[in-house]
Homo-oligomer: A and B are copies of this chain.
Amino acid sequence: ERGEMAKSTQLIDNEVFRAYATYTAIVLLKMMLMSLITAYFRITRKAFVNPEDTASFGKGESAKKFLRTDPDVERVRRGHLNDLENIVPFVGIGLLYALSGPELSTALLHFRIFTGARICHTFAYLIPLPQPGRGLSWAVGYSVTFSMAYKVLKTAWLL
């Protein structure tokens, strides 16, 4: 199976690409976890947004009172959206960066710092930690993506 793949592409045999694949899978799984946390808070706080989701709590007015916003649910949702806004650029620019021929050690440094920063960001958002905890972890991840984008544009530039 790896043999046949190797004939058409050795991407996955490239160490930088393997590192990219590992960290990208980790941060995307972390982002997907936010859906489960949202569902957990929606169910425990009984705070839903779709009428059909409250049908199991009874009919009419008795179910309608669960159609409400809850501060904990909204907090997780903001964390999820912030993940989308920051992890999407990491995945896209990171792929190009991994294909732009960086040193393995430099690439690992970028991927590790970004992943660590986004995990810290999630804890800072959900606990929540006092500022500038969340702000700093956001800025670190942002800077890593920016640094990778600089390397991509320097290597690939063709306008």
Q: Give residues in A with beta carbon < 8 Å to B.
A: 1-2, 4-6, 8-19, 21-22, 24-26, 28-29, 31-32, 34-35, 49-50, 52-53, 55-56, 75, 78, 80, 84-89, 91-93, 95-96, 99-103, 128-131, 134, 142, 145-146, 149, 152-153, 155-159
A35 partner, pick from B13, B142, B155, beta carbons under 8 A: B142
Known: A49-B78, A92-B28, A131-B52. A11 touches B12 (CB 8 A): no
**Chain B: minimal CB distance from A108 (Å):** 8
Contact B146 A5 (CB under 8 A): no
Chain B contacts for A28, CB-based, 8 A: 88-89, 92-93, 149
* Number of identical monomers bound together in the oligomeric complex: 3
When C-beta atoms are compared, the residue in chain B nearest to A7 turns out to be B10
Chain B contacts for A80, CB-based, 8 A: 85
Tell me what chain A mostly uses at the interface: helix, strand, loop, or mixed.
helix
Contact B146 A19 (CB under 8 A): no
CA distance A155 to B22 in the complex (A): 9
29 A-B contact pairs sorted by A residue (CB < 8 Å): A4-B101, A5-B16, A5-B101, A9-B10, A9-B99, A18-B156, A19-B158, A19-B159, A22-B156, A22-B158, A22-B159, A24-B93, A25-B149, A25-B152, A26-B153, A28-B89, A29-B89, A29-B149, A31-B88, A32-B86, A32-B142, A52-B128, A52-B130, A53-B131, A55-B130, A55-B131, A56-B131, A84-B85, A84-B88
